[in-house]
Amino acid sequence: GLKIAAMITSTLLCIIALIGLVNGLLTWWGRYLNINDPPLTLELIVGYICYPIAFLLGVSRDGDLLKVGKLIGTKLVTVRSRFPHTTIFSSNQLQNEFVAYDALQHHAEYKDLSDRSRLIVTYALCGFANIGSLGNQIGVLSQIAPGRADDVSRVAFSAMVTGAISTFTSATVAGLLITNEKQYFSTPT
């Protein structure tokens, strides 16, 4: 158990460092190219890549597509975010779908999402199809079955893509079946 826990910790640390490096280089390059608002990050790039996914999920076209694409990109790629509400994470921490849910609830950019888009993205964000989980899957399964490490590494990415497609399918079905979205959202008091 300790060996597996150490593998999970080291894998997450390596993935966090790699994505932090990529975000730092992209932000630096974006400043050089005068791309400052919003800053050029992996989240923004994957958000634009996920723009068609948001369209296919049935998200409202009234300015919600890029916002939902960015949230899906945040879920798929572990990104930097501040957690002002919690004492556990005191500095910049790297998480996954929890960052996307936190942004959906607390960031001003997402306050004007339509109820339908909010419902669809809530379903689309659940699940563990992200790069951090991919690293954990490879690390843990390689420790459990060392002789099958090559097989695990070969199918891990397709398992992540399949998991993402599964949650996107659930979001699409929810968008098709639920017609009164307001009943599922309570207004904060």
Residue 54: the pLDDT is: 92
Residue 30 to residue 34: CA distance in whole angstroms:
6
Residue 101: the pLDDT is: 82
Q: Residues near 186 by Cβ (< 8 Å), separated by ≥ 6? A: none
Sign of CA dihedral 149, 154, 157, 160: negative
Residue from 122, 156, 116, 119 nearest 139 by CA: 156
The per-residue pLDDT for range 70-114, each reduced to its tens digit, is: 888 888 875 443 333 433 333 334 456 777 888 888 888 889 888
pLDDT band per the 50, 70, 90 thresholds, residue 188: low
Residue 104 to residue 86: CA distance in whole angstroms:
17
